[in-house]
Chain A
Amino acid sequence: MNDIIAELEAAVGEACAKHGGTDSVSASSTGGWNPRLWAALEQIGVTAISVAEEHGGSGGDISTAVAVLEVLGQHSVGVPLAETALLAGWLLADCGAVLPSGPMTACLAGSDLRLERKDDNLSVHGTVARVPWARCVDHVVVLGAGRVVLLHRDDFRVREGTNLAGEPRDDISIATSVPLVRVHDVTVESGISDRGFRTRAALARAAHIAGAARRALELAVTYAGEREQFGRPIAGFQAVQQHLAAMAGEVLLAKVAVEAAALALDTEDDPDVAVAAAKAVAGQVAGLVSSLAHQVHGAIGFTDEHPLHYSTTRLWAWRDEAGNENYWSTELGRRAVSAGSHGLWPLLVGKRSHSARR
């Protein structure tokens, strides 16, 4: 790993430890979010990471952003960094727009949302379900009908909802008319597409999962060393050791898969296979690791006083967000089958573009 990433990881980890804390996490489970941590992350300069500096971002590639997201997942902290940097920031920057300040989120316009050009405005009407962090942000960036639209706070109303971990997943209803300065046409060269949006959202959740899985393992290892039964720490029992080792394997698998997928987005011509595989695998890992972590913790891990649930509720929530294992596996299955017996291996091995983008 390069030194810049290691330094950022350390700084973000410190900020999370300082401002994350279990209390503020509990607060976020009632729908609030963590503005102190957001400010600290802004200070470090990661809230618009992977967005080029000339568009108001802080530079860096997807691999760096994913490393930061892993740390956030590890600390169970709620902030819309993935949404701000990897989604909203990407959409705006790739349309040539400059990012507004503050937290943002982004969504894809489905059939429930109508975008129509009216004179010098774009009228936007309809609803979008389960938009992450909508209630906490200043701006929502919508991708739809070949356009990227920047909505302000007063352009939409929020119906609050949450995921299993209590993170905001709000339905928004939009009835507004947006001046064209906030509407950008998506050009072919921009590389923006619905597919690209889904891919980035999936990678972000997979990165969160890799971090949370690691924390669940760390908690289980610590607990196994402390909890005594039959006169010795349960870590002394081989069955428990085998659970921990099996978890470690899964956690490493998720970590490497997510980071390899980020690298693919940074360098490869066709990163879709990598991201689909990483999210599908992260989903598999989330299920395995959360069940093993709970098994090792016994009943205490099932209580709200023990911190394990901060990680496991997130693992259970995130595996179903941005496409679950079945969604991405089906994508991959189709591609694999159409690649055929001679094409499957080349599909898996991928092809690096000889001139890496970075």
Chain B
Amino acid sequence: MDLWNLNPVALPPEHEDLRGNVRTFLAEEIAMGRITPRCDQWLGGWDPAFSRRLGESGWVGMTFPTKYGGSGKGALARFVVTEELLAAGAPVAAHWIADRQTGPGLLRFGSAEQKEAFLPLIAQGQYYFAAGMSEPDTGSDLASVRTSGRRIDGGWRVSGTKVWTSGAHLAQAMVVLARTEPRSSDRHAGLTQFIIELPDPNVQIRPIRLLTGEHHFNEVVLDDVFVPDTRVLGEPGSGWKQVTSELAMERSGPERILSTFPLLAAATDYLAENSSRIDMARFGAVVARIWALRQMSLAVAGRLEVGAAPAAEAATVKDLGTRFETVVIDTVRLLTELEPDSGSDQEIPRMLAESILHSPGFTLRGGTNEILRGVVARQLGVR
């Protein structure tokens, strides 16, 4: 059972200076009315102007080397910046996927030309990627994708349908996982990742609305899209390995704990005013858990920083963290006894509404909790 190599991380002092800078910046942004704190802003807060301001400050692409426009500061520095952004409820959706997974994927598997073409723009907070993995018949079983890539002269023709593609309608490119060899006994062989720049005449992007009516997801129909060889990401046929390495980065970050944190913070002022009748222990239990979960997420970032691939540990963070995000909602709801109201001009009813209506996604996106527990069970040797 090798699940125990997870130790707490003491952030070096210079990271605390960095934290201070991000905090000051965010306080100014909020004071100037440029951004408004909300819950689940890494899905819902698409604000290219804000992403660009972050890019100018050097806070996007922090794990990229300086020669590709990054700051080369590493996973822990990035952790500090992202947790400050999330805790403040800042709108980070635009650059999120590019910064978190596409960029690192390009760094590891991309060609020199691809790195030069995309990484600096990502780091400037100006270039956004969508992740095209899921399909109508492919959710948890990602290896069953049917979108296909057919080799032609100088490139590929890609056809199929992707769904739940967050931000595809606003992104400048999308990474598409496709089958490029007939299915064999090894289900994970023969998959390839393609970079498809958008818009493209052969790509149709249709909104799929959330139950709130908001438009974040899309259905993306690829009809014989031409992809030149220069836009194959990594080796043809190695798509599975690449995608799973992306997922380790995707699963353990502070975004798996903090989607509803702005609500928790907002509630403290309300609870202070009504402190005579609130259940401090119940509130404190949530505070205790968030403290511990953050330490766990940070510990995984520490492993990533030294080049390890703590997939099962990341899965436990996501399983515990995303279930906790809903516990925050319930705690605030029950202690404040306020009704959720999207139209309210008061913070808590508004944030309650935002977070309740977004909550079904917490334990689905990035792999469902049931699937993640399967990953952990395998690590425990019982699967």
A and B are partners in one complex rather than unrelated chains: yes
Chain A residues packing against B (C-beta within 8 Å): 1, 214, 217-218, 221, 224-225, 235-236, 238, 240-242, 244-246, 248-250, 252-257, 259-260, 263, 267, 273-274, 276-278, 280-281, 284, 325-326, 328-334, 336-345, 348-349, 351-352, 354, 356
Interface centre among A238, A257, A274 (most CB of B within 10 A): A257
What residues on A are CB-neighbors of B294 within 8 Å? Answer: 348-349
Q: Report Cα–Cα, A344/B288, bound state, in Å.
A: 12
Question: Shortest CB–CB separation between residue A210 and chain B, in angstroms?
Answer: 10
**Minimum distance in angstroms from B121 CB to a CB of chain A:** 31
- List, in ascending order, chain B residues with CB within 8 A of A256's CB: 6-8, 292, 295-296, 299
Are B287 and A333 in contact, with the CB atoms below 8 A?
Answer: yes
Q: Which residues of B contact A341 (CB under 8 A)?
A: 265-269
Is B183 close to A, CB under 8 A?
no
Question: Which residues of chain B come closer than 8 Å to A340, judged between CB atoms?
Answer: 268-269, 272
Q: Determine if B316 and A329 form an interchain contact, defined as CB atoms under 8 angstroms apart.
A: no
Additional 6 contacts, C-beta under 8 A, given A332-B291, A356-B10: A238-B374, A253-B293, A254-B292, A280-B284, A336-B284, A348-B294
- State the Cβ distance, A187 to closest chain B Cβ, in Å: 29
In the complex, which of the residues A245, A255, A336, A352 contacts B287, with contact meaning CB atoms closer than 8 Å? A336
Whether the Cβ atoms of B284 and A235 lie closer than 8 Å is no
B243 contacts A by Cβ under 8 Å: no
> In the assembly, what is the distance between CA of A253 and CA of B16, in Å?
24
Say whether B265 contacts A345, CB under 8 Å: yes
- Which residues from 269 to 316 on chain B have a C-beta closer than 8 Å to any C-beta of chain A? 269, 271-272, 275, 278-285, 287-296, 299, 312-313, 316
Which of A225, A326, A339 is in CB contact (< 8 Å) with B281?
A326
B288–A280 CB distance below 8 A:
yes
Tell me the complex Cα distance, A342–B282, Å.
Answer: 20
Assess whether B284 is in contact with A345, with CB atoms less than 8 Å apart: no
Closest B residue to A248 by beta carbon equals B376
Give the residue of A245, A255, A274, A332 whose beta carbon is less than 8 angstroms from that of B376. Answer: A245
Residues of chain B having any CB pair with chain A under 8 Å: 1, 3-8, 10-11, 13, 16, 19, 83-84, 87-88, 261, 264-269, 271-272, 275, 278-285, 287-296, 299, 312-313, 316, 319-320, 370, 372-377, 379-383
**In the complex, what residue of chain A is closest to B84 when comparing beta carbons?**
A345
Main secondary structure of the interface of A (DSSP, over half): helix
User: Which of B6, B16, B293, B319 is A255 in contact with, Cβ under 8 Å?
Assistant: B6
Nearest CB in chain A: distance from B376 CB, A: 4
A278 touches B313 (CB 8 A): no
Residue among A221, A250, A260, A328 having the largest count of chain B Cβ atoms under 10 Å: A260
CB-defined contacts of B372 to chain A, threshold 8 Å: 245
Top 6 nearest A-B pairs (CB, nearest first) are A333-B284, A329-B284, A333-B280, A245-B373, A280-B288, A260-B8
Collect the chain A residues with CB atoms within 8 Å of residue B379's CB. 248
CB distance from B360 to the nearest CB of A (A): 19
Please report the C-alpha to C-alpha distance between residue A337 and residue B271 in the assembled complex, in whole angstroms: 7
Known contacts A337-B272, A345-B87; A257/B265 CB under 8 A: no
A275→B289 CA distance, assembly (Å)? 12
- Is A352 a contact of B11 with CB atoms below 8 Å? yes
Contacting B381 at CB < 8 Å: which of A225, A259, A277, A278?
Answer: A225
Q: A235 to chain B: closest CB distance in Å?
A: 4
Does A330 contact B280, Cβ atoms closer than 8 Å? yes
List A contacts of B84 (CB < 8 A): 345
Closest chain B CB from A264 CB (angstroms)? 9
Are A252 and B8 within 8 A (Cβ)? no
Contacts of A249 in B (CB 8 A): 316, 319-320, 376
* A326, chain B: closest CB distance, angstroms: 4
Max chain B Cβ within 10 angstroms of own Cβ: one of A240, A244, A284: A244
Q: Is B8's CB under 8 angstroms from A263's CB? A: yes
Name the CB-closest residue of B to A348: B291
Question: Inside 8 A of A242's CB, which chain B residues have their CB?
Answer: 370, 373, 377
Q: Bound state CA distance, A130 and B173, in angstroms?
A: 66
Task: Decide if A252 touches B316 in the complex (CB within 8 Å).
Answer: yes
Contacts of B287 in A (CB 8 A): 277, 329, 332-333, 336, 344, 348
Task: Verify B4–A255 contact, CB threshold 8 A.
Answer: yes
The answer to whether A244 and B268 touch across the interface, beta carbons within 8 angstroms, is no
CB distance from B137 to the nearest CB of A (A): 21
Q: How far is the CB of B314 from chain A (nearest CB, A)?
A: 11
List of B residues within 8 angstroms of A344 by Cβ: 264-265, 268, 287
What's the nearest-Cβ distance from chain B to residue A10, in Å? 13
Measured CB to CB, the nearest residue on chain B to A353 is B13
CA distance A280 to B284 in the complex (A): 9
